[in-house]
Amino acid sequence: MNRLSWMLSAALLFLSVYSCSGQPVRTISTGSHIPYTAEEIRTDQPQKFRFVVWSNHSGATQAAIQFLQKTHNIVVERARLQEIFGEQRVQLSHSSEDEAKVLRVGRLAGAERVVFVEVVKSDQWTGDGYSRIMVYRVSVNVRCIDVETAEIQWSGTAHFDQPIIDPEESIPLLTKVAMSRATCPIERGYKWTEVGTVSERPGCNRDK
């Protein structure tokens, strides 16, 4: 198993996510990143950083933290961030200015990168009569930003190919898929396979 195979843990890979028709679903993802350094290419190991994770969903936050800690990155605790927010009297306004505020607090906390994870969820009824059920469409967008330059280091998205019936169970998986896809070095001979693809190992693996 190569260094990127951990990104989708065994528990998540065997997580059954079903559509409203009862059929397993497949992820659809996109991702991009800045070029890897010569040292990263030589060692086939990513650089380690101190991160802040900021999300509008607790399940996505925890999944992102697990993802980063798997490769021995350091993640600043939420309690420390709240402490700095209080000390600096920083208040979030749920506007476009919030991102700059989080980057500032992350920098004060000693972080080098902030990972923003946004969960978007919508619902609708489907079926007729007594067979009507609520189904959901869920997508996760991730961005890793340098706190000093405000430049995006990597970004990714993930959603399912059809509506599902249990959105909360799926959000951690989609978060890890989006982060995995964003950091997968396809330009260096790795191959990305979506979760739910029949007869192929999902995730980022070295192409044979």
Q: How confident is the model at residue 196, as a pLDDT?
A: 83
Alpha carbon 143 to its chain's center: 8
Number of helices (H), then strands (E), in the chain: 6, 8
Res. 147: pLDDT tops 60? yes
| pLDDT band at residue 13 using 50, 70 and 90 as cut-offs | very low
Query: Do 46 and 39 form a contact (C-beta atoms < 8 A)?
Result: no
Q: Range of 188's domain?
A: 5-34+47-206
> Does the structure show a pLDDT above 50 at 6?
no
Q: For strand 27-33 and strand 152-160, is the pairing parallel, antiparallel, or unpaired?
A: antiparallel
Collapsing DSSP states into helix, strand and coil, what is residue 71? coil
- pLDDT tens for residues 24-51? 789 999 999 999 888 777 777 778 999 9
**Structural contact between residues 159 and 167, judged by C-beta atoms closer than 8 angstroms:** no
**Residue 42 located in a structural domain:** no
- Cα separation, 145 vs 72, whole angstroms: 19
Is 41 contained in some domain? no
Tell me if 113 sits within 8 A of 144, measured CB to CB. yes
Torsion of CA 33, 37, 43, 49, to 10 degrees: -70
Lowest mean pLDDT among 65-69, 97-101, 110-114: 97-101
Q: pLDDT confidence of 1, banded at 50, 70, 90? A: very low
pLDDT over 60 at 4, yes or no: no
Q: Give yes or no for residue 94 having a pLDDT over 80.
A: no
Domain CATH for 90: 3.30.160
The confidence score (pLDDT) of residue 8 equals 47
Backbone angles phi, psi at 203, to 5 degrees: 105, -160
The residue assigned the tokens 């190919």 is 161
Q: Give per-residue pLDDT as tens, 118-135.
A: 999 999 888 887 778 889
Is position 16 within any domain? yes
CA angle, 123 as apex, 16 and 24 as ends, to 5°? 20
Angle between helices 78-88 and 98-108 (to 10 degrees): 110
pLDDT digits (tens, 9 = 90+) for 154-203: 999 999 999 988 889 899 999 999 999 999 998 888 899 998 877 678 88
C-beta separation of 196 from 181 below 8 A: no
Say what percent of the chain tops pLDDT 90. Answer: 55
Q: How many domains does the chain have?
A: 1
Q: Tell how strand 50-55 and strand 190-193 pair up.
A: unpaired
Alpha-helical regions (H) of 48-205: 58-69, 78-88, 98-108, 167-183
Query: Which residue do the tokens 């000093």 mark?
Result: 148
